[in-house]
């Protein structure tokens, strides 16, 4: 075979290899003119995204100023893409191997690869040498060179190089923090890239909707958190819109048959133990229905959890959580909290209500009887904090408004704009 035939065959083999790579990894190969006459050939810029075999524990090791080392970890499925500039000589692959120009491991966009490289230079040099080693092995086996770019590419993007560089041992991948970066920043950049790649893969994958049974790209679908069921946004939006309009809070969840059956066997108190977020609801049904869903959810929490109550102001009526223990414990002057769910339980130190409308020292009635029934909202099963301080002592004429004896013997102050239930501490 003369030199002209060798050049023609090498050119055809290069074209075939690049066509295969571009079909498997579209948009990740760029051809550039070669300005270096010392290295004649076809110059390529390759982007090599690294996808790990499975979600892998990443251990981040760093050294502090005092010489002590610290580690932090996370679970990732992707690592930032490598950038590889290479020249394919005119006689590649039959006579000579490909010529590496530069191999870089930038952390992400916006980071200089010299200060934000997630792989050290010694590992990158080993990877370049591995490309030459693959070509030498094939030439020795068949007495002539073969195309090895695809083989080396596959070795990189599948993460197999991490084994040979001894980064992956005992099911843990160990990375070192670049000196200008903190471990927190380094790990956050890795997690951000991993999340973006997972989302991109989801958007490019077709999924069958379990409602309309049509295949749609992930960009038009919603993956339910927790169970992982996938529905097209249109079908899920119709289901959730109907549920919110009817006030059926439990139906704002995964509508798959298996998940519905599982929820049906749960206790009522666990119906709210779902991973549905306000952001997801707004993405599916819009802002207006999301706000309506949040109102229903707050009211349902107050109905289910006896430690919650509903704000008695007509313009509010939001679910009020119980006070933190630190707010009511260890401070004798702090306002007392009365649990309405425990009102009927006898207690030796139960607070008492005054029934004398003119003085603060009148007949006292124990709270062991439910005196709140006439004033309680139907959804108020929670905690009311009742303080004797209300801009002065109520009952001695300093408070604004008219004080009168309300129904069931509860002292009620009628102000200008609202009605307030008042109970005094012992």
pLDDT in tens, 40-70: 889 999 999 999 888 888 888 765 555 555 6
- The confidence band for 399, taking pLDDT boundaries of 50, 70 and 90, is very low
Helix (H, G, I), strand (E, B) or coil at 385: strand
- CB-based burial, 119-143: b 16+ in 10 Å, e otherwise: beeebbebbbebbeebbeebbeeee
More confident residue, 413 or 111: 111
Name the domain boundary from 178, 199, 216.
178
Peptide bond into 93 cis (omega under 30): yes
Q: Do residue 159 and residue 230 come from a single domain?
A: no
Examine residue 369 and state whether it is found in any structural domain, yes or no: yes
Examine residue 191 and state whether it is found in any structural domain, yes or no: no
Q: Do residue 274 and residue 341 come from a single domain?
A: no
Examine residue 202 and state whether it is found in any structural domain, yes or no: no
- The confidence band for 222, taking pLDDT boundaries of 50, 70 and 90, is very high
Q: Do residue 19 and residue 147 come from a single domain?
A: yes
Q: How many domains does the chain have?
A: 3
d(CA 225, CA 72) in angstroms, rounded, equals 26
| CATH (domain of 275) | 3.30.40.10
d(CA 357, CA 299) in angstroms, rounded, equals 34
Q: Do residue 275 and residue 351 come from a single domain?
A: no
d(CA 368, CA 178) in angstroms, rounded, equals 66
Q: Is 153 exposed, middle or buried (0-12, 13-18, 19+ CB in 10 A)?
A: buried
Examine residue 188 and state whether it is found in any structural domain, yes or no: no
d(CA 299, CA 290) in angstroms, rounded, equals 14
- The confidence band for 114, taking pLDDT boundaries of 50, 70 and 90, is low
Q: Which residues pair with 232 in a beta bridge?
A: 221
* Mean pLDDT computed over 302-327: 75
Q: Mean of the per-residue pLDDT values for the chain? A: 75
Q: Do residue 124 and residue 174 come from a single domain?
A: yes
Q: Do residue 262 and residue 169 come from a single domain?
A: no
Q: Do residue 239 and residue 276 come from a single domain?
A: yes
d(CA 26, CA 20) in angstroms, rounded, equals 10
Closest C-alpha to 166, from 126, 108, 106? 126
Q: Do residue 249 and residue 132 come from a single domain?
A: no
Q: Do residue 172 and residue 39 come from a single domain?
A: yes
Name the domain boundary from 296, 327, 344.
296
- The confidence band for 242, taking pLDDT boundaries of 50, 70 and 90, is very high
CB contact set of 43 (below 8 Å; sequence gap of 6+): 31, 32, 33, 34, 85, 86, 87, 101
Instruction: Report the pLDDT value the prediction gives residue 33, as an integer from 0 to 100.
Output: 84
Closest C-alpha to 113, from 180, 184, 185? 180
Q: Which helix (H) or strand (E) holds 162?
A: helix 161-164
Instruction: Report the pLDDT value the prediction gives residue 144, as an integer from 0 to 100.
Output: 81
More confident residue, 164 or 383: 164
Range of the domain at 342: 319-421
Q: Do residue 11 and residue 158 come from a single domain?
A: yes
Q: Does residue 250 carry a pLDDT above 50?
A: yes
Cα 48–chain centre separation: 26
Examine residue 196 and state whether it is found in any structural domain, yes or no: no
Instruction: Report the pLDDT value the prediction gives residue 16, as an integer from 0 to 100.
Output: 92
Give the lowest-confidence range in 75-89, 103-117, 377-391: 377-391
Examine residue 426 and state whether it is found in any structural domain, yes or no: no
Q: Do residue 23 and residue 155 come from a single domain?
A: yes
Q: Do residue 224 and residue 343 come from a single domain?
A: no
CB contact set of 207 (below 8 Å; sequence gap of 6+): 215, 216, 217, 218, 221, 230
Strand stretches in 136-252, DSSP E: 168-169, 172-176, 206-208, 215-217, 221-223, 230-232
Q: Which helix (H) or strand (E) holds 261?
A: helix 257-264
Angle at 149 between CA 171 and CA 98, to 5 degrees: 120
């Amino acid at each position: 075979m003369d030199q002209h035939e060798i050049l023609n065959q090498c050119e055809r083999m290069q074209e075939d290899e690049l066509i295969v790579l571009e079909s498997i990894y579209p948009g990740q190969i760029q051809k550039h003119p070669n300005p270096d006459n010392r290295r004649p050939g076809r110059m390529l810029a390759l982007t090599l995204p690294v996808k790990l075999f499975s979600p892998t524990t990443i251990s981040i090791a760093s050294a502090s100023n005092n010489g002590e080392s610290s580690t932090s970890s996370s679970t990732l499925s992707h690592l930032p893409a490598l950038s590889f500039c290479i020249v394919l000589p005119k006689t590649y692959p039959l006579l000579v191997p490909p010529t590496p120009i530069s191999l870089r491991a930038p952390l992400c966009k916006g980071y200089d690869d010299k200060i934000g490289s997630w792989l050290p230079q010694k590992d990158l040099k080993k990877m370049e040498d591995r490309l030459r080693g693959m070509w030498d092995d094939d030439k020795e086996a068949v007495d002539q060179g073969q195309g090895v770019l695809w083989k080396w590419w596959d070795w990189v993007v599948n993460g197999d190089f991490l084994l040979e560089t001894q980064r992956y041992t005992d099911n843990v991948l160990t990375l070192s923090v670049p000196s200008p970066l903190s471990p927190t920043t380094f790990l956050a950049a890795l997690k951000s890239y991993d999340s973006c790649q997972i989302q991109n893969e989801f958007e490019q994958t077709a999924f069958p909707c379990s409602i309309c049974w049509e295949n749609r790209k992930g960009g038009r679908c919603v993956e339910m958190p927790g169970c992982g069921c996938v529905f097209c946004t249109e079908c899920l939006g119709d289901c959730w819109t109907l549920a919110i309009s009817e006030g059926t809070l439990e139906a704002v969840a995964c509508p798959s048959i298996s998940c519905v059956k599982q929820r049906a066997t749960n206790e009522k108190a666990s119906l709210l133990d779902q991973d549905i977020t306000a952001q997801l609801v707004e993405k599916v049904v819009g802002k207006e229905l999301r706000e309506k869903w949040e109102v229903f959810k707050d009211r349902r929490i107050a109905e289910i959890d006896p430690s919650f109550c509903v704000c008695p102001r007509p313009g509010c009526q939001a679910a009020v959580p119980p006070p933190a223990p630190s707010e009511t414990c260890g401070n004798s002057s702090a306002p007392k909290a009365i649990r309405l769910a425990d009102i009927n339980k006898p207690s030796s130190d139960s607070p008492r209500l005054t029934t004398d409308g003119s003085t603060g020292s009148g007949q006292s009635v124990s709270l062991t009887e439910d005196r709140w029934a006439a004033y309680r909202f139907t959804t108020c099963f929670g905690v009311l904090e009742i303080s004797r301080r209300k801009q002065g002592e109520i009952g001695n004429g300093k408070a604004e408004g008219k004080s009168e004896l309300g129904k069931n013997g509860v002292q009620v102050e009628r102000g200008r704009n609202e009605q307030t239930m008042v109970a005094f501490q012992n």
